Amino acid sequence: MSNGHDTFQASTMAFGLAEGTDEVHPMTLLLDEIDKTLLEPQGGDIRTGIIVDKRPHEILVDIGYKSEGIVSGREIERLSDSFASLSIGDEVPVYVLREDKDGNLLLSISRAQAEKDWERAETLMASQHIFESCVAAYNRGGVIVKIGQVRGFVPASQLSADSQSQGEEQTDESDDRWAQLVGMNLMLKVIDIDRKRNRLILSERLAVREWRRQQKEQLLDRLTEGDVYPGVISSIADFGAFVDLGGADGLIHLSELSWNRVNHPSEVVSVGDNVKVQILSVDQERRRIGLSLRRLQPQPWDVVNETYEVGQVVRGRITKLVNFGAFARLEKDGIEGLIHVSELTDRRITHPKEVVSEGEEYDLRIIRIDTDKRRMGLSLKQALPPSAESEIDWQIAPSDENESDENETEAVSSAAPENEVESVAEQEAEIVS
């Protein structure tokens, strides 16, 4: 295929540099530009052309050569849905295939797009940038996504924990394990590429890890102690609960989950719960975020008079037995009160264990509330069903500090962990004083 290249080359030399000068003749520049536009296309070239005609089974594309190139046959089939969106005048990239026996230049639009997509994949591999792509299909070993015309594979081992949980309902051997991921957008990174083998391996797990690291960096820079943030409980440990604040996890320590005593975080929260938390601390060096759930809630003792009243019957669980009585935690908000040994039963006993045991639940009557000292007196015997012969079935415990020793120690409790139930020795000292 000759296009007069030698003639233009000779012309260029004729209008070359003037002797003894560095100035290039304007005609030389013009001929160079014309020469470039008429360079003969080579197989494998990617050119940009303009659609000049569109027929049901072929497209004519002007790439600036002596005649238009043709996209036809199987290449039209490869365009599938995108064929209908192409119009005369559209600018499209084309891949030069070859000349047929009639001298027509055969082109491929899909191949050009695929080449550009491979180039993009190679760029993503080199930069390790995160990108998003939709799951197009799946098999037993993982899911298939597309980067344009190029199919990439995400092995099951490279799926994130969230994506893997989507397949938990199916067994590991199930062919449909990853069916629920079809149509979902995944964050991905390219981890292996081999164009000769048509191999493109992607990882969602690494992409999510990198994204969360970036989010945490940004979040740490803008967090301020005392701020309130929404989050989701992401995991639970014996020492507390982790909260996803939108890319970064913070920790609610066990003591910051509730004003009440908590033995395990599962008593207060569950994975997936939406919560609002207060920022307690931000450790830039250790990259840690301390959170509190309880500080956004009123202390039970601050609203005790709105919640309870003397004479009210409440449900409580026995938490501790001491010589002078039994401590019980109220079911509603965890306030602990004291059932003095004299309020357990009408009969004489030497120790509360003769009547109650730790862990048992009872209906109890409130007989005293001391908001200043944060103490509550409870009675088991006065909460029992009233006798038909009895006109008064319960009595308010005296609040005068000079009353008898037996009624002096009606209640003690604090719902806050730092204000836990006072020591047994301290209680006994008060009783005998």
* Domain range summary for the chain, segments of one domain joined by +: 5-37, 46-113, 128-209, 223-296, 308-432
Contacts of 409 (CB under 8 A, 6+ apart): 324, 325, 338, 340, 427, 430, 431
For the full predicted model, state whether its pTM sits above 0.85. no
Instruction: Domain 223-296: state its class.
Output: mainly beta
Instruction: Write down the mean pLDDT value for the chain.
Output: 79
Supply 85's token pair.
Answer: 């969106």
Assess if CATH 2.40.50.140 describes domain 308-432.
yes
Per-residue confidence at 394, pLDDT binned at 50, 70, 90? low
Give the chain's count of helices (H) and strands (E).
9, 20
Q: 231 and 246 in contact (C-beta within 8 Å)?
A: yes
Q: For residue range 255-284, list pLDDT tens digits in order.
A: 999 887 788 999 899 999 999 999 999 888
- 308-432 matches 128-209 in CATH topology: yes
Q: What angle do CA 56, 59, 64 make, to 5 degrees?
A: 165
Q: What is the mean pLDDT of residues 363-372?
A: 91
Residues 428 and 233: their CA atoms lie apart, in Å, by: 42
Q: What is the pLDDT of residues 181-195, one digit of tens each?
A: 999 999 999 999 998
The answer for 179, left when phi > 0, alpha when psi is -120 to 50, beta otherwise, is: alpha
pLDDT at 164 over 60: yes
Domain spanning 128-209: which superfamily? Nucleic acid-binding proteins (2.40.50.140)
Q: What are phi and psi of 199, to 5 degrees?
A: -115, 125
CATH superfamily of 46-113: Nucleic acid-binding proteins (2.40.50.140)
Which residues are within 8 A (CB) of 14 and not within 5 positions of it... i.e. 6 or more apart? Answer: none
